[in-house]
Amino acid sequence: MDERIKAYDEKMQKAFDFLTTDLSTIRAGRANPHVLDKIRVDYYGTPSPMQQVANVSVPEPRMLQIAPWDKSLIKDIEKAILASDVGITPSNDGTVIRLVFPELTEERRKDLAKEVKKKGEEGKVAVRNIRRDGNEAFKKLAKTEISEDEIKDLEDQLQKITDKYIKDIDKAVEEKSQEIMKV
């Protein structure tokens, strides 16, 4: 693969990775530790990721259990969960915090599926913007370094990579939508 194309391929891969990470934080009726990825807990004045201050486990399909390494953090972890957009009220027994995920209603499932599609569209826009930037860069090269045929070839290669990532995004969105809609 041409070095000039490789840089845009890497950017598209990063956009795709960001989308898949973002999709993994959307809950689909089952307990998924990734819903806590964006939550920061105040740990002695420093906002820290949940995974750095506690052990997060899935003892049952619809329950997350958070066991802080420092028991004095229970209140701070509870506060961080309540302040987040997880939408679940934590319960604690003094040593661990439990998050019980309720069954999703049909309406909520449809809303989540729409949100997944919207995120997919944003991912596609990001990939297309990278393609546009690449094509503009190739056109600038035309004035100095390379021929029209080489530019056409580079644009074709970039389009093939773009098509691949668009297809991957569609597949990821479809899988997540099916996961959400499955009762």
Q: How confident is the model at residue 168 (pLDDT cuts 50, 70, 90)?
A: very high
- What is the C-alpha separation between 169 and 46, in angstroms, rounded? 35
Spell out the domains of the chain, with CATH numbers in brackets.
Answer: 3-24+105-181 (1.10.132.20), 33-100 (3.30.1360.40)
**24 or 183: which leads in pLDDT:** 24
The stretch 19-30 carries a mean pLDDT of 77
- What is the C-alpha separation between 118 and 134, in angstroms, rounded? 25
Q: How confident is the model at residue 25 (pLDDT cuts 50, 70, 90)?
A: confident
Q: What is the pLDDT of residues 89-138, one digit of tens each?
A: 888 888 888 888 777 788 888 888 898 999 999 999 999 999 999 888 88
Helices 106-142 + 148-181 axis angle, to 10: 170
- pTM of structure: 0.71
Q: Are 43 and 54 in contact (CB under 8 A)?
A: no
